[in-house]
Amino acid sequence: PAAPKVKIGHLAEYRDKRVRVFGWVHRLRQQAQMTFITLRDGTGYLQLVLSGDLHKTLDALDLVTECTIEVTGELKAVPEGKTAPGGHELAADWWKMIGRAPSGTDSYASLFNEHADPSVRQRLRHLDLRAETPAAIMRVRAALLNAFRRFYANETVLEVTPPCIVQTSVEGGSTLFKFDYYGSEAYLTQSSQLFLETCLPSLGDVFCVQESFRAENSHTRRHLAEYTHVEAELAFITFDDLLTHIESMICDSVEYVLADPVAGKLVRELNPNFVAPARPFLRMDYKKAIEWLNEHDILFQDDDPAQPPRPHKLGDDIAEAAERKMTDILNVPMFITGFPREMKAFYMKRVPEDEHYTESCDLLMPGVGEIVGGSMRMTDLKQLLEGYKEHGIDPSPYYWYNDQRTYGTMEHGGYGLGTERILAWLLNRYTVREVSLYPRYPGHAQP
């Protein structure tokens, strides 16, 4: 009888049975009497053993890494004292070439390996993805996105899909990608927040997993031109509720990933020192944070490099470098809350006791810095109109956003989380580029 076709990830139930598998030759080791192949099909790795006639014909057939093959054989537990992925190996009795791969100087191994120069790996990202570490990262990424969705389902937060093509800015005009849209100007979205807010009276609490775009000319470890933005908006909450919700979102999602047998194992392999974050997160007011930076001699560096570094003063932005030094010292997740109005976007609710500051928060993680930005939103139309004015924004394209205040306003707030940033933290990666499938950053949109 024909052997059943099985994915490598599902082989555990087929011990001592004949199966048929398909995949790519990941590794190839030829010995005098036998050939060992590690086969890869995306669901796992499987050791194949070819002996006898099968072994003898291989050379002539040009079997090299990255060839696609079909194999049948009996699945056996690996002999005592040896290891193989899944604890089993396939004793092949038949195989067939499906897709050849180049050998010699064009072979995968000569073109490329995980230790190749970063610029080579960038250009060959499509091949890089076949290597073990990038594939493991993508697998954890998928598990994390699932975990977010599970968290939101538990909290009765509904998923929506806002548009990417928009005609309003959220986080300031300087980072907008503009394009011609049937003769008028449109942008690639920077954030879906404003659209999420309009959903509250219709759908209740909502979230989205949507690409956001930032035309920032920042060549840093944590900036992309396109990133996967997880945003949520919650009605009838206080600022304190918002912080607690963000804390739960991070802690529960990380817990789900760690509890997943495949993804949890990969996290521990990729980041052996990972410790799940403890609740509650440290909370530090912006004013206190400025004092803290000065107490620790962490200086402010102006965008203009001609300006010498100086101590921080109230109203200063806490830049990436300062943030990083701060989280390196404290080494725990922390919220900075209550940023000054002029530093933040037009829509942020002001602190009732001191209107110069906002009910806003950034969540900083060790090694990465900011991974979440959030705030309570203005509820009052008059104040919102002043907000546009203060930020030099023409309010007319925002008529729909304003209507949210006209037709039944309420206290509400939300946040945006950068998927690549939380992954860089979770997997201890040097840059967010490593956790993006095909990263986009200044000058790069290929492959």
Q: From 63-71, 88-96, 179-187, 409-417, give the range in contact with ligand 4AD by CB under 6 A.
A: 409-417
Nearest Cα neighbor of 427 from 239, 270, 299 is 270
Place of tokens 């890494």: 65
Per CB under 5 A, 373 contacts Mg ion? yes
Residues 114-133 vs ligand 4AD: string with x where CB under 6 A? --------------------
For residue 153, what are the contacts with CB-CB under 8 A and spacing of at least 6?
Answer: none
Alpha helices in 309-398 (DSSP H): 320-330, 381-390
Alpha helices in 331-410 (DSSP H): 381-390, 399-406
Per CB under 5 A, 414 contacts Mg ion? no
Report the residue number, 8 or 417, with the smaller CB distance to ligand 4AD: 417
DSSP state of 367: T
Place of tokens 């944070």: 289
How far apart are alpha carbons 411 and 379 in whole angstroms? 6
Given 67, 284, 289, 371, the residue binding ligand 4AD (CB under 6 A): 371
Counting every residue, how long is the chain? 447
Per CB under 6 A, 285 contacts ligand 4AD? no
Tokens of 278: 């403890």
Per CB under 6 A, 317 contacts ligand 4AD? no
Residues 425-444 vs ligand 4AD: string with x where CB under 6 A? -------x------------
Report the residue number, 223 or 405, with the smaller CB distance to ligand 4AD: 223
Per CB under 6 A, 370 contacts ligand 4AD? yes
Per CB under 6 A, 414 contacts ligand 4AD? yes
CB of 360 to ligand 4AD, least distance (A): 9
Per CB under 6 A, 416 contacts ligand 4AD? yes
Per CB under 6 A, 373 contacts ligand 4AD? yes
Burial of 418 (0-12, 13-18, 19+ CB in 10 A): buried
How far apart are alpha carbons 132 and 117 in whole angstroms? 17
How far apart are alpha carbons 34 and 43 in whole angstroms? 25
Q: Which residues bind ligand 4AD (CB under 6 A)?
A: 170-171, 191, 193, 214, 216, 223-224, 227, 229, 231, 370-374, 414-418, 420-421, 432
Q: Which residues bind Mg ion (CB under 5 A)?
A: 373
